[in-house]
Amino acid sequence: MNIEEAVTAATAWSGALLSCLGQPVVAYHVTAIMREADKNHARQMQLALVRRTIEALVDDGLEGVEAERFASQFHGRIGSAWDLLHPAGDTQH
């Protein structure tokens, strides 16, 4: 898997988020996460994006519970894509 494929996998089914934050913004942040080789730092970046995702979705009119459910799924897709891109044998920085 390459970075572009990882970003595509992580942002699949994210239409609501892409419409309120914008595709370039989401792609930028997810790409930065995918490029980060240090798992702990990548997870910190991911959590910050998930918090921003919830805020943006709520600001755009989605119920808090629905925004959290969407963000949880998004979080899972980002994590899964990162894990596929960075096999467990890679060293952390």
pLDDT digits (tens), the chain, 93 positions: 899 999 999 988 888 888 888 888 999 999 999 999 999 999 999 999 999 999 999 999 999 999 999 999 999 999 999 999 998 755 454
Q: How far is CA 41 from CA 31, 36, 79, 88, in A?
A: 14, 7, 12, 15
In a domain, 13, yes or no: yes
- The residues near 22 (Cβ < 8 Å, ≥ 6 apart) are none
Residue 92 counted as domain residue: no
Q: How far is CA 69 from CA 12, 25, 26, 41, 53, in A?
A: 15, 21, 18, 23, 11
Q: Taking the model in full, what pTM does it have?
A: 0.86
Provide the domain count of the chain. Answer: 1
**Whole domain around residue 36: which residue ranges?**
3-85
How far the first Cα of the chain sits from its last, in Å, is 21
- Determine the Cα–Cα distance for residues 61 and 31; give it in Å rounded to an integer: 26
Q: Is residue 90 part of a domain?
A: no
